[in-house]
Structure 1
């Protein structure tokens, strides 16, 4: 279609039983950074997020509010839609499982599985957690202090007996293990891959894929007594959004299989076991990669509603700034690990790295250019070994940053940029252009040009993480809007001597603690 390589990335669809919190923001942010990076790197990107709106939990929540489920989901889904806009996420599509296109896709997938004898009618008796919308084996349960049985997640379980359609999951254990062996990067990070393989090697039971005890869901084709199990419904969203059941043309033909499903570690089993099994059983390709990230704590404490320490993304942005929050979340911990949010850590990153390292570097250099070079890009003279070393570091950044992004190692990508930021700050101190102004103005111009060119590379490459701030930095360097993708990196896109520059302004202000009333 476009001649550009396709790249399809998805968030999980968020369950509308809840208000958006830091976990939702974190997953979508990671996808947003990858989507933005790939666009700048020449890919035809499709970035999908959305909401999961069916299931018993939603039906009960709607009843508790005295609302019908559709009105309730319309209201709550809007919160997630608005969050995407508020955090400057660049998703190309927002899917809701209550949309007609999704009902069509789910029923088409069901029909295909029936046709291939992958689904059969039986009856189910077992432990079910409404909160997780999941069934659990007796061996997975624990008994709480109140004597009630609980799922591994801590959710209460109840004994359920009802007629049910079953998916022949048990027959897909060997094909799944073969998939994990053939494609060792299918599940990441490695600790999660090992967890998934261990689960499948332990043996798989056929999976109940319909319910009759409540009605808020997608009807099973040809059997109105049943609705589809919410996870079969939810997972199908990834192919709904590329036009399934049309597979020969359009977006499915270009974008499926998905390049990356980004999920929290609590829903890995559904994405790395059930989902590829459903797809292979229907004769469809499984996704290329599933990455399960960790969870956040708040000042060292587990986040929970009962503790009242849920982190609201809107509050973070209001307190610290949007790009600052985006930077912190992907810089603070290796992606995939659990992380702790603390005010002190946030301020240290904002002031130490954004304000002092990068912000101060840009402000010093651009202010010196404004003051000493007539407010235009300086004219460089012959380059010294030190100049070419710094420029070489800046111009060589893309392969390292790209490799880290492709592994979802966002903290490594940012560290690669900061190695160059720190090198540029050391170079300024050594070259002392403020002293050269009096002794060797031509040399001063060369130093300032090399620094401006280094900042340009950092600003172009950090756009996916801090898009607004990077845009302002590139504006101040006089970089045209059509010269900000990765083809402009290197000597070919270098700043043109003599080009006028706007008056420099600070981009990353230092965080100052608000004064409290005595």
Structure 2
């Protein structure tokens, strides 16, 4: 048991983007979070484990249009599929939040208004290169070979009226916090990347509203604007446990916040270690204790993507190997600093060498001996 019996422990995954079925690389994160949550419960901690879906944005509006359904119908179906996979993988989450939940949407609107009223958000124009899949604007200098630095896809010039968040106002405080709390961003390689590539060169103000699409949470005082994805999605970690912008937060929020661990993919570390803590500072809310940017599970020659056609799905693997074997494989193959690799061949090899030969053999011999010499009863001899 841990020393403080029933000590609260709050762990979250990133919320899955409701644009389609999650592949095994996405599923790795929920399995990892689940194993940590189970370990903490076994230690005697009072664990709250939250996951869910991120359901707004231009990409979803476009996919729904292409499918001939409303965005809400599209995300309802996608969220159901994501939840099915999480349940199939036997994950013990306590809450599955959706960013289309009415209480979440209401809080996001209140948060936007409060940040605007206190001068942290202002109206302006955005002009830059826009990547639709990543829902991010970039300057020409940030592009890599003229393409999106995050996903490598095509970007298009875009200009629109938008509200902006004054990131630079809070940057010195965030740098101070990161320097004073070495455990805040893990692993250390991610911390160095955020400091050297983003914080120290100087933060640009962040676009927090859009007008070119309508599938999002409307800005109450300027309804042609919808709240941009990051201010909407990131706040799930506090709205999901009962945060209230007007100071009327629930007992659950007071008990579990600050989060002990935000577990996220390394590709979204910037949003979670720069934007998210700055939003919290502006709201006067304590920062999470740790953000861990885990590596990717690669399929042979690189990151899994539907466009490459190299995607493996959890349910396909479970049909062949069973849930526990798939869970064992993804946890075993992922060193915390480097990317792991998955393939059918590797899975078969791991099942045979570890689960059948080593562990299976050990269990078999142990049971045989306990049956032979102790009548199958294992007693505590002190």
Tell me the alpha carbon deviations over residues 79-116 of structure 1, each in whole angstroms, 9 at most, x when there is no partner.
11101110000000001000101112211211221232
Contact in 2 for aligned 1:293/1:336 (Cα 8 Å): yes
Contact in 1 for aligned 2:296/2:303 (Cα 8 Å): no
- Partner residue, 1:191: 189
- Partner residue, 2:358: 357
- Partner residue, 1:159: 157
- Partner residue, 1:404: none
With structure 1 as the length reference, what TM-score do the two structures score?
Answer: 0.70
User: How far is 1:152 from its partner?
Assistant: 4.0
SS at match of 1:274: helix
Q: Distance in 1 between matches of 2:176 and 2:20?
A: 37
- Partner residue, 2:129: 127
Uncovered stretches (5+) of structure 1, i.e. residues with no partner = 381-490, 492-518
The alignment status of 1:36 with 2:41, answered yes or no, reads no
Q: Distance in 2 between matches of 1:161 and 1:114?
A: 22
**Aligned pair count?**
376
SS at match of 2:158: strand
Cα distance change, pair 316–126 in 1 and its aligned pair in 2 (3 A): same
Contact in 2 for aligned 1:247/1:253 (Cα 8 Å): no
- Partner residue, 1:259: 260
User: How far is 1:72 from its partner?
Assistant: 0.6
- Partner residue, 2:343: 342
SS at match of 1:220: coil
With structure 2 as the length reference, what TM-score do the two structures score?
Answer: 0.94
User: How far is 1:348 from its partner?
Assistant: 3.0
Q: Distance in 2 between matches of 1:369 and 1:257?
A: 47
Cα distance change, pair 5–379 in 1 and its aligned pair in 2 (3 A): closer
The 5-angstrom pairing of residues 350-389 of structure 1 reads 350-377=351-378
Contact in 2 for aligned 1:9/1:31 (Cα 8 Å): yes
Q: Which has the higher contact order (CA 8 A, sep 6+)?
A: 2
Contact in 2 for aligned 1:129/1:151 (Cα 8 Å): no
SS at match of 1:224: coil
Q: Distance in 2 between matches of 1:346 and 1:223?
A: 53
- Partner residue, 1:205: 204
Q: Distance in 1 between matches of 2:13 and 2:279?
A: 19
User: How far is 1:248 from its partner?
Assistant: 4.9
SS at match of 2:225: strand
As a proportion of its length, which structure holds more helix?
A: 1
One of 175, 178, 182 as aligned partner of 1:180: 178
User: How far is 1:304 from its partner?
Assistant: 2.6
Q: Distance in 1 between matches of 2:212 and 2:126?
A: 12
- Partner residue, 2:241: 242
- Partner residue, 2:225: 226
User: How far is 1:378 from its partner?
Assistant: 5.6
Worse-superposed segment, 49-58 or 220-229: 220-229
Contact in 1 for aligned 2:150/2:267 (Cα 8 Å): no
SS at match of 1:46: strand
Contact in 1 for aligned 2:243/2:250 (Cα 8 Å): no
The alignment status of 1:92 with 2:94, answered yes or no, reads yes
Worse-superposed segment, 255-264 or 241-250: 241-250
User: How far is 1:48 from its partner?
Assistant: 0.6
Point out the structure with max Rg over C-alpha: 1
Contact in 2 for aligned 1:132/1:155 (Cα 8 Å): no
Contact in 2 for aligned 1:169/1:207 (Cα 8 Å): yes
RMSD, matched Cα: 1.8
SS at match of 2:20: coil
- Partner residue, 1:500: none
The alignment status of 1:26 with 2:28, answered yes or no, reads yes
User: How far is 1:301 from its partner?
Assistant: 4.3
Q: Distance in 2 between matches of 1:75 and 1:304?
A: 21
Contact in 1 for aligned 2:12/2:49 (Cα 8 Å): yes
Q: Distance in 2 between matches of 1:373 and 1:282?
A: 63
